[in-house]
Structure 1
Amino acid sequence: MRLCSLATAAAMLAVVAGPTRAADESIKEKAAQCTPCHGEAGMSETENTPSLAGQPDQYLQWQLVFFRSGSRKNEVMQPMAEQLNNEDVRNLGAYFASLTPPKAYAPDDNPDLSRKGAEAAAGRRCASCHGDTFAGTKAVARLAGQREEYLVKALHDYKSSLRVGGGVAAMADVAYPLSEEEITALAHYLAHL
């Protein structure tokens, strides 16, 4: 009887695991469409394109929804996001969030600039939303280890109101008064965490 119970349990696991593997393969196929820009394993090597690995799940989902709705504009992302259903959005968010996040993509070649960036981050209370380690949380982006030029672009987009979506009021409020020197320093500091 015990052998029969074990066989039944194994059969049930096979039935459950089958669709899970199929779903895993399906999401990997969808995520493969992201690779040309966002890189293998979500690590971007494309200028002005963020790494997605280790971004918080909810943050990724919201960005896809913003692109899909057209409230966040990008000529590449909008058409791709329009093809995603809600399940795809949830699965892609979970998939990229599960990947190992980037570490500083290069040794810090300018510690003085990083120090100025740390001061700017403290003065703007960046950690109050992005977390003490800038790893992001829930619907707030991970900044640590992100591509430096992308961070500069994102801050400029918030400052000029080109970027909208969740948190835009807080980010516009933070970014608008930043000087070019502070933007450069912040991006350098965060990219090298």
Structure 2
Amino acid sequence: MRQATLAALMLVLPVLPASAADLAAGKAKAELCVGCHGENGISQTENIPSLAGQQDQFIQWQLVFFRAGTRKNEAMKPIVDQLGNEDIRNLGAYFASLQPAKPPPDNDPDLSKKGAEAAAGRRCASCHLDSYAGTKGVARLAGQREEYLVKALHDYKSGQRVGGSQAAMTDVAYPLSAEEITALAHYLAHL
């Protein structure tokens, strides 16, 4: 499955033009995203991720995966079907240029401590960096919506989420207990 996803990505990415992204065009196209992902990419909707400050390449890859059908989401499909390669490039650059949401105050530092231990035990920083800001095609986790992180980890654990880093994330998430997932999501959301 991972090889098929990478092959699909390799077929699409070389088509993306080498020109610089157009932030104004990305902002205009992002009007399609506001209803779910929120104004300025800061989601107010349960189980919908914030996109502000997310890595440019990560957003581009996810949009390509949705468009190719390797990552499935009924709400995203009609939107990505409207996007051309230049739109994807512009959206990635636009959302990456936005300031992420300020994390809420940590109301449970003991849970965050358990989450930090789970993150260290699973070596999350080896891909997502010590700051959990992500890099290139790896997602920013710091400050993401807590319930979305719980959902994403459960989806990886169950094999429900495919596309992109599914194999690596399934290996990481599968052994996590429900308590560890809750603690990890809490920790990351409050960074």
Moved >3 Å (runs of 4+)? 23-26
Deviations 1:112-153 (A, max 9, x none): 000000000000000000000000000000000000000000
Give the share of equivalent positions with the same residue, in percent. 74
Amino acid at match of 1:138: K
TM-score by structure 1 length? 0.86
State the Cα RMSD in Å: 1.2
1:112 to 102, 110, 113: 110
Contact 2:115–2:183, Cα closer than 8 Å, also in 1? yes
Alpha-carbon separation, structure 1, partners of 2:152 and 2:101: 18
1:155 to 139, 153, 158: 153
Alpha-carbon offset, residue 24 of structure 1 = 4.4
Aligned length: 171
Contact 1:148–1:190, Cα closer than 8 Å, also in 2? yes
Deviations 1:169-188 (A, max 9, x none): 11000000100000000000
Alpha-carbon separation, structure 1, partners of 2:149 and 2:23: 31
2:130 to 126, 129, 132: 132
Amino acid at match of 2:170: A
Alpha-carbon separation, structure 2, partners of 1:33 and 1:131: 30
Alpha-carbon separation, structure 2, partners of 1:154 and 1:189: 15
Q: Which residue of 2 aligns with 1:34?
A: 33
TM-score by structure 2 length? 0.87
Alpha-carbon offset, residue 102 of structure 1 = 2.1
Amino acid at match of 2:176: L
Q: Which residue of 2 aligns with 1:82?
A: 81
SS in 1 for 2:143: coil
Alpha-carbon separation, structure 2, partners of 1:94 and 1:83: 18
Unaligned 5+ segments in structure 1 are 1-19
SS in 2 for 1:119: helix
SS in 1 for 2:105: coil
Higher relative contact order (CA closer than 8 Å, sequence separation 6+): 2
